[in-house]
Structure 1
Amino acid sequence: MRVLVAMSGGVDSSVVAGLMARAGHEVIGATLQLYDQGRSLARGRTCCAGSDIDDARRAAATLGIAHYVIDAEARFAETVIGRFADAYAQGETPVPCIACNQGVKFTDLLGMARELGCDAMATGHYVRRVDGPGGAELHRPRDAARDQSWFLAATTRDQLDYLRFPLGDYPDKATVRAEAAGLGLDIADKPDSQDICFVPDGDYAALVGRHRPEALEGGEIVDREGRVLGHHEGIARYTIGQGRRLGPAAMVAGERQAVIEVDAPRRRIVVGPRGHAGRDRLALRAMNWLIPVPPATGLEAEVQLRANETPRPARIVPGDGGAAEVELAEPALAAPGQACVIYAGGRVLGGGFIAAAPPAGLTRSTT
């Protein structure tokens, strides 16, 4: 089998390339150069630029596989960085890793793999792909601490059929590092990437300001009734549930406050008592189902609203035009722009993005 492996220069993807080669497959390594290499050299916990490309090239040489570097800077700047800044300027909290997966990785790179005549594309993500009775299924990995299924919920059924995730059955990162050492890779002890890769200094608000200056313009902090409680230094610095940067608005009438809305058109941050700031109904857009679309009566399952939170019971009602409504068993803080991923146990059933208001075409069951 000919397999293209997406190699970021990290331990995980390098091990995947080694496992595929050891299994006797014809392996082609491909590394996407996503952003300015020079800015990444000062920080060693990013990916896909600077020394990471050299690490990927060296790993491929050690494994004896072909390796190519693809210049994807312009595409990445448009589909990930630009949209990241736009989302904050619109009062949303984006998930750039999902945008990257569904843009340059699982669309462009996967398309290139098909053009090269590859039978599959493999990555170092920690998820499991299971061949079920209805086709390929996406499941949580064995190592719960490294679960990346939330970030891959936008993967389509066609993409999932083509993808392979060899690390999903590994028990922990120590085992993966031991595998890297056994393959002779000199990056076996390389630290994991943890930053937003295109913000090497960690100051995402400054990046948003360079692309969308209005997102850092000051404005009012108000309560639900519109009473001014304080002032802020840019809506890009706030997300739903946040209690920091509120100044005198952090405590009102003895109650701790939290952000409950980012009103981008009026550059207002709306706060309310933290204990009463949640919602029990959410509108979703851009739904991606990994199962047949449920009936109009809805589906009882669990949903995860943030990358590291515990799933919660909910009823999901599909709508028209890629919309859906989520009825939560209990109110929760939900930020527009974040993903809402639907699970049945460890299996991902689908996911969409939380909308600020019900999108056009949403229908609700009356039964």
Structure 2
Amino acid sequence: MRKRLFLPILLSVIILLAGIAGFLLLQEQWKKEETEINNPFLQKVNSDNRDLDLKTIIHQSEKNVLQIQGRTENNTTTGSGFLYNEKGDIITNAHVIDKADIIYARTADARVYPAAVVGLSKETDIAVIRVPQLAGQRYASVQREDTAEIGDEVIALGSPHGFQNTVTTGIISGKDRQFMVDGYNYSNVYQISASITHGNSGGPLINRYTGEVIAVNSVGTEDGTIGFSIPIHEVIEQAEQWSEQAHNDQLEFVQAEDMLTSSQPEALKEDAEYLVDYFLDSIAIRDYVNAYTLLGSTLQMEMSYAEFRDRYIQIVDIHYDELSSDLNDNQSVRIETEIQIKSNQQNQKETKLTAYLYEFLLGYENDQLKILDIMATEM
């Protein structure tokens, strides 16, 4: 009887010991994997991906940011704004357009459209303007609840001093600030370490990690070390109410001939240089759809989107010198620059660095600035 019991007991003990040994081996393997995940090389890769994510967030957010200009007979006020709904409505600061006779908006791809006032507050420094041509386009996502905390990393986008899509980064350094400026009541605003200048006014303050708009950049100190932004959750309901009540046939839009056009040569050169910068940035970030939309109709007829993408898809990195621009006439600009392009080779294991002399021809097509021709010569 004892012999019969001994064999099953022995087998049970062996199975139990084997199970314990297997568990210990798995635990040791898990420890090794944890050690490998924390090694410095992978930390560097993760850091690089984090930087890439920042570039992507900025590039995508820039598409929603517009330069806003309000003109009177004797003065032009420049600020910023961002597209926030499917109707083509743009949130900006009231002080940017308050006294303007003519308002127009310049998009990230240098298109200029007339705008009309949808709503304007006399107490809070907030206004909404509408550009019907932007209806149906992708718009910014806004954060409707106050989840921001002191120390949160933020990105301030705007057009300071007329330069489109300038980016500053910082943190939220204070909350619930209260003060008055030029008759406007700033209540419960964020204090940020990102600088805000005159042209930043009305631009979005973006959460560094979600890409959502959390506030409207409004005022800054003279030395540029501190800025203040109006939380979007404080004003979004008012903005939406204005938008719901506004109908295009009741709004006042200026005529195209009243807007700033190519009749000003320096403005044309600045816009052309900006457009080339934006084109090359789009290629670098692999946003081929956006880059393709900057081409004129003739180029698009000669080259399909698929062909265009295949031409640039192997590019890993782009570096280029300062742009050199010459005004051909009042309607076109020729821009040259030396570009160093790092691209993948066919085996995808090696990269090649090649220098090119690029020449861009830009001009107006249907009243919008476009890239009409691109010529590249290997150096």
TM-score (norm 2): 0.25
Bigger fraction of residues in strand: 2
TM-score (norm 1): 0.25
Query: Does 1 or 2 have the higher relative contact order (CA < 8 Å, sep 6+)?
Result: 1
Flag the structure with larger Rg. Answer: 2
